[in-house]
Chains A and B, each alone.
Chain A
């Protein structure tokens, strides 16, 4: 625990140095949901079926925040470090490489989220008619918060699992591009999942991406019954367990066959 706190502190000061970069990154990251918001908001104004404009607005404004809280980039760097042979430096350190990436992830997010959360709080307080009413229900908020945290853990771990492929495959970066493509469609960012044809919805239930974004948002909008909420939280936990097991196994197997020439 002491070691983890120390790394958190180090990462904090490292990232604080580059706050300009972090602010720009945050703005750029919000853009996919903002463009999707304008499309679906325009649709909801002109169509009577589907969701009312207020619900679409709430969905996407919170989607921006859930994405900011859950986003993971450690896998990209870890894959690069495996390919270039740089992970050897972590093998002799007292703390596992996963904790180092987790510390980086958490500190950057805290830095990123301070300002946007204040803005969101102000809007929620001053303009309540913008939002779908369930946003103000304390029980819903509590479940939404739990589900969002689980979503963040899941996406971080899943991202690390896909990085492990770098032990075996040279084209891992290309595979990661597929991963981010699937994320945009199967998480419910480009199209809220409820709009999708039935078979696509069924298919995406079997991928982890839905549980990193759509699940917390559906809870927040009150679209799930109490039973379904527990069920979704359970699926999130199952995915976390599966991915954690996968990391442990792949990391051990990967290190066994891993060779770094010239180091």
Chain B
């Protein structure tokens, strides 16, 4: 089966990428450790922020302190995972387009979108995942009732869908770089996408909330999985997740294709 062979081949390439990336990272050990410490410090700052919020109020748009901690921990886990696997690779694409080094991506014997996204495995972002898991376990045990097995399964499904949505959004936006030629602002975009993830979307007014659910569906990345863990998710939302994910994966594919067709290789 050509499809299966192809996938196996890509999986082998990716494993090789992971190995090389870890070796590279270990060459700069001080930098690596400073990076880990920084992620823990960020988590500390966010916890301070939540503690300060709840020193002034008892609920944030209907979410209690431990439930907000669940959102925070999920945002750390998912963001850490995304950064490790692809976000930071995609963030480097605009620079390569501007400098013309994107040529080297195109000449690799691998689909350009996949290679551009999964070129390096940024192992130093994993601290976020580990710290997030610790916080998640703590916050879950503080809840009056633990989530059931079925809600855990649904949580995993919507998390995977959320990651696919985030990937699509990044690809769609980065494709703009082919059009704009200089797109340093993309770096800010990756921050922009991860910034709202740490809060319950219920605090946004109706208009922005609808936009963040259907047009720029960041709600599916962290908020919907958090709803699944806190008995808030309704059946129809799972179906909406699946539909939105399919639409955005397709849009991402189209955007990238039309972008690459405009690529003119700046320097050569």
Write the residues of chain A forming the contact surface with B, with a CB cutoff of 8 angstroms: 17-18, 20-22, 24-25, 27-29, 31-32, 35, 38-40, 42-43, 46-47, 49-50, 170-171, 174-175, 177-178, 181, 184-185, 190-191, 195-197, 200
Contacts and interface: CB of A to CB of B under 8 A. Distances in A.
A174 B34 contact: yes
Interface stretch (B49-57, B126-134, B233-241, B249-257): B49-57
A181 B60 contact: no
Nearest to A38: B203
Contact of B34 (A24, A29, A171): A171
B5 interface: no
B260 to A, nearest CB: 19
Given A24-B185, A190-B45, A190-B49, A174 B38 contact: yes
Contact of B184 (A21, A47, A177): A21
Nearest to A42: B203
Interface in B159-210: 180-186, 188-189, 191-192, 195-196, 198-199, 203-204
A27 B189 CA distance: 9
Nearest to B124: A174
Contact of A174 (B31, B58, B59): B31
B211 interface: no
B182 A18 contact: yes
A197 B49 CA distance: 11
Interface of B: 28, 30-31, 34-35, 38, 41-42, 45, 48-49, 52-53, 56-61, 180-186, 188-189, 191-192, 195-196, 198-199, 203-204
Contacts of A24: 183, 185-186, 188-189
A170 B34 CA distance: 12
A47 B192 contact: no
A87 to B, nearest CB: 19
15 contacts: A24-B185, A28-B185, A29-B188, A31-B192, A32-B195, A42-B57, A46-B58, A46-B59, A171-B34, A174-B38, A181-B42, A191-B49, A195-B52, A195-B56, A197-B52
A48 to B, nearest CB: 10
A38 B204 contact: yes
